[in-house]
Amino acid sequence: MHQKVVAIDGPAGAGKTTVARALAARLGYVYLPSGTFYRALAWKALETGTPLDDEAALARLADATAIDVRVADDGCCVARVDGTDVSAALGSAAVGDAASRISVFPEVRRRMVELQRRFAQERSIVAEGRDMASVVFPKAEHKFYLDASVEERARRRAVDLRERGEEADEGRLVDEIAARDRRDSSRQAAPLRQVEGAVRVDTTRLSVEEVVERLLRAMGHRA
């Protein structure tokens, strides 16, 4: 079987997850949620009190932790850490912030990339994240970069948090997302960037379906 890969990169809140799930469903591919791997390790770090700024300790934690990510037919992810289903906990703001902080370390990223590539073996996939096209799947047949204004991304995040029953201050979220952008773009290991040949799509004023149709057309599929 020839593995086909669609790689979607972009900053937090650009719509990568929702679009990747919908695109995978349209293509009959498997959806690969790269951020879930980092969030799973971040959850374990918070649970164990592992310092989020200690690369060596985080690397040891990753080596000692069994992270299993699976995707159901409906595109929803099930993440288990050492056999425990932690899926419901991974969407919290605290885990998301911790995942962003630990993802700057090369040794953490190396271990997560290994898990992501293992997940994708012998499957045609739609992979979304920050370094799918640049590092994890540099030979992907199709590469995309999704973006949106910081204000729109903060609005979407606020909606997600409120749906989870969490409070959301959009002004504070704008500041947090801007800080995360700076961290993701300036990190030493696999900084967030649009790779050469990637098709950029600004999702600010587009529906999910409109974005998916643009991606399909760019891939040569008829609407």
Instruction: Measure the CA dihedral 21/139/116/160, to 10°.
Output: -30
189 confidence band (pLDDT: 50, 70, 90): confident
Q: Give mean pLDDT, residues 12-20.
A: 92
Is the model's pLDDT at 196 over the cut of 60? yes
Provide the 10 A C-beta neighbour count for residue 82: 12
Q: Are 95 and 47 in contact (CB under 8 A)?
A: no
For the chain, what's the residue count?
Answer: 223
pLDDT digits (tens, 9 = 90+) for 66-105: 999 988 777 678 999 999 999 999 988 899 889 989 998 9
**And the tokens for 117?**
């590539």
| Strands 5-9 and 125-129, bridge-based pairing | parallel
pLDDT at residue 12, as a whole number: 86
End-to-end CA distance of the chain: 26
pLDDT digits (tens, 9 = 90+) for 46-59: 999 999 999 999 99
Q: Are 148 and 201 in contact (CB under 8 A)?
A: no
| Strands 30-33 and 125-129, bridge-based pairing | parallel
User: Does an H or E element contain 215, and which?
Assistant: helix 208-218
| Strands 5-9 and 84-85, bridge-based pairing | unpaired
Which CATH superfamily hosts domain 11-218? Answer: P-loop containing nucleotide triphosphate hydrolases (3.40.50.300)
Q: Give mean pLDDT, residues 11-26.
A: 93
pLDDT at residue 160, as a whole number: 86
Q: Where is average pLDDT lowest: 3-7, 34-38, 60-64, 190-194?
A: 190-194
